[in-house]
Amino acid sequence: MITTRSSTPEDADAISVCVDAVARERRYLGNTSGFSAEQTRSFIASLSDSGGIQIVVVADAKIVGWCDVTPVPFEGMRHVGRLGMGLLPSFRGQGLGRRLVREALSQVFAKTLKRVELEVFASNKIAVGLYEREGFVIEGRKRCARFLDGAEDDILIMGCLRDEWLCSTSQQTGRRQRRDRGLVDNRTSSDRRA
């Protein structure tokens, strides 16, 4: 069974192992190795103190992914959070990334944040597509921002605003409810002509 929940300081060892595994793939995170359990424990505590969140994915009692939103501490920017996430390879492509992002945005937008931003490597097209489907917009590009293992990569800067996200999620919910009640015609135009 796969579940999601908020992280706790007791999760630090397992989260540290998970982040390290994703970082060592050398493709998805800015760092190429993870953080120690103590650094991770401090990060979890700082999230709690600052109003941030971290959600973990648990499969068979093992942490296999995470999504965190860290509020920006600067005056005039405290309405902004920065999102980071990752999943172990064997748990990708199952909708867990979408589940993590939706749960994280739902929680932080219910608090005081009005904007969530992130950076993603342009080569990570699956993640870029996920973020766009969940309401993020590409706001900029850092050209040749990474040169690693003989390959150059740009970094895309993406942002999501609470009001736009709330509007899009309520529209999606309305469409799903109408479809479930049979009020939406899901047939293609050629099906209707037949």
The first and second tokens of residue 125, run together, are 């097209």
Is 44 within 8 Å of 8 (Cβ atoms)? yes
Q: Using CA atoms, how far apart are residues 122 and 86, in angstroms rounded to an integer?
A: 16
What pLDDT is attached to residue 168? 83
pLDDT band at 192 (very low <50, low <70, confident <90, very high): very low
Kindly report, residue by residue over 3-31, the tens digit of the pLDDT: 999 999 999 999 999 999 999 999 999 99
Tell me the CA end-to-end span of the chain in Å, nearest whole number: 43
pLDDT band at 169 (very low <50, low <70, confident <90, very high): confident
The verdict on pTM exceeding 0.75 is: yes
* 56: nearest Cα among 34, 25, 86: 86
What pLDDT is attached to residue 185? 52
Query: Residue 118: how many CB atoms within 10 A of its CB?
Result: 19
What pLDDT is attached to residue 29? 97
Please tell me what DSSP assigns to residue 135: T
The average confidence (pLDDT) of the chain is 91
Strands (E) located in 51-191: 53-59, 62-71, 80-87, 115-121, 137-148, 151-161
Is 96 within 8 Å of 90 (Cβ atoms)? no
Kindly report, residue by residue over 111-164, the tens digit of the pLDDT: 989 999 999 999 999 999 999 999 999 999 999 999 999 999 999 999 999 999
The first and second tokens of residue 69, run together, are 């939103």
